[in-house]
Amino acid sequence: MLKEIGYKVWQLKTEFVYRLALKKYAKSLPALSPADRQIVDRLQQEGVYVTSLEKLGFASTPQLLDACSKVLSCTEPECDRSVAKSPLQIYALSELTDFSLWGNDKRLLDIVQNYIGLPIKFQGIQLRRESSHPDQFGAMLWHKDGDDRRSIKVIIYLSDVDREHGPFEYIPKSLTAVGWLRFWIDYQIFRTGFSGLKNDKMEQLVPRSAWKSCVGAAGTVIFVDTHSVFHHGSLRTAERSALFFVYTARHPKRPDLCRRYSHPSHPRPNLSPNAQTSEAAVSLEV
Ligand SMILES: [Fe+2]
């Protein structure tokens, strides 16, 4: 009992310190153009903003696209035997300059910083190659990420994603922001041991007509606060490849969970010498 009270007091104290830090740092947030402000506003309202590499127009995009085609070709199942049996293969790309340059674009960092409201940490970059699977498991179950109070993932589709490729799907924040529904879904996820809900269960809580599916062409970019929206990768019958850039506050609520984005168990693409993208230390803290 005393232990529980002590934990609650600690939670209230950390929440108070967090709110105070947001207030103090608000004056130091970088200025945004009207277009970039719209991304932050939309994230605050709905938790998701969908755009494209072309519309964002970062200077390093051509370099990123060139590196993507090299990485995709050397991680094809016939080139990489480790993916043959697994429906999900994650590759760590954080140390490859062509990817980290894009993820460290000043405009992108300013957008993320304005949304998170504090100095940020670029947690890492992953390539996720996901093949067809008949059942929902892992990130295909409905869930929220627990890394931080506000946590941004920037997802880039590397091939056209239609229904059969398992598009990213979410429930708009405005539907669950207040009231009993968010609490009730959280409770149902808690009952699964935080593994997540299958479609049939989520359908009982939120009708399918309210789910938003992010189908899109190669180059579609999805900004999402994965802490504030219920989301998942939907079931697929064809492969989907996508990049994930992950950002949290510099001192996230759950640094232990954030380590998965730079976990050494994830292989680095085995680039051939002439396809090797240059490696360099790029600052991951802003
Ligand atoms: Fe997630």
Does residue 284 fall inside a structural domain? Answer: no
Q: Distance between CA atoms of 72 and 220, rounded to whole angstroms?
A: 17
Neighbours of ion ligand 1 (CB under 5 A): 145, 226
**What six digits make up the tokens of 284?**
């991951």
Question: Residue 87's pLDDT is what?
Answer: 81
Same domain, 14 and 114: no
Same domain, 8 and 94: no
Q: Which helix H or strand E contains 155, and what residues bound it?
A: strand 152-157
| Ligand 1 centre distance from Cα of residue 229 (Å) | 9
pLDDT confidence of 266, banded at 50, 70, 90?
A: confident
| Ligand 1 centre distance from Cα of residue 200 (Å) | 19
Q: How many domains, the chain?
A: 2
Same domain, 17 and 125: no
Same domain, 44 and 25: no
Question: Residue 50's pLDDT is what?
Answer: 98
Q: Distance between CA atoms of 269 and 252, rounded to whole angstroms?
A: 28
* Residue 275 near residue 77 (C-beta atoms within 8 A): no
Task: Give Cα separations from 279 to 94, 271, 276 (angstroms).
Answer: 9, 12, 9
Q: Which helix H or strand E contains 246, and what residues bound it?
A: strand 240-249
Question: Residue 133's pLDDT is what?
Answer: 79
Same domain, 120 and 24: no
Does residue 281 fall inside a structural domain? Answer: no
- Residue range 127-139: average pLDDT? 86
Angle made by CA atoms 227, 259, 238, in degrees to the nearest 5:
65
Judged against a pLDDT cut of 60, whether residue 283 lies above it is answered with no
Question: Residue 7's pLDDT is what?
Answer: 80
Same domain, 50 and 164: yes
In DSSP terms, 283 is beta-bridged to none
Burial class (CB in 10 A: 0-12, 13-18, 19+), 34: exposed
**34-43 tens-digit pLDDT:** 999 999 999 9
The whole domain housing 52 covers: 34-275
**228-240 tens-digit pLDDT:** 999 999 888 888 9
Q: What sign results for the dihedral spanned by CA atoms 142, 130, 214, 285?
A: positive
Same domain, 154 and 260: yes
- Answer with the residue of higher pLDDT: 111 or 6: 111
Same domain, 13 and 92: no
Location of structure tokens 């398992």: 166
| Ligand 1 centre distance from Cα of residue 232 (Å) | 6
Judged against a pLDDT cut of 90, whether residue 138 lies above it is answered with no
| Ligand 1 centre distance from Cα of residue 104 (Å) | 22
| Ligand 1 centre distance from Cα of residue 143 (Å) | 6
Same domain, 244 and 145: yes
Question: Residue 272's pLDDT is what?
Answer: 58
**60-93 tens-digit pLDDT:** 999 999 999 999 988 876 555 555 557 888 999 9
Same domain, 161 and 187: yes
Same domain, 78 and 197: yes
Does residue 169 fall inside a structural domain? Answer: yes
Does residue 285 fall inside a structural domain? Answer: no
**148-203 tens-digit pLDDT:** 999 999 999 999 999 999 999 999 999 987 778 999 999 999 999 999 999 999 99
Question: Residue 273's pLDDT is what?
Answer: 55
What is the DSSP-derived secondary structure letter of residue 198?
A: -
| Ligand 1 centre distance from Cα of residue 258 (Å) | 12
Does residue 282 fall inside a structural domain? Answer: no
Find the CATH number of the domain harbouring 139. 2.60.120.620
Location of structure tokens 């939670």: 11
- Answer with the residue of higher pLDDT: 255 or 115: 115
Q: Distance between CA atoms of 184 and 178, rounded to whole angstroms?
A: 11
User: What is residue 267's three-state secondary structure?
Assistant: coil
Percent of the chain past pLDDT 90, that is, above it, reads: 63
User: What is residue 78's three-state secondary structure?
Assistant: coil
Same domain, 234 and 111: yes
| Ligand 1 centre distance from Cα of residue 140 (Å) | 9
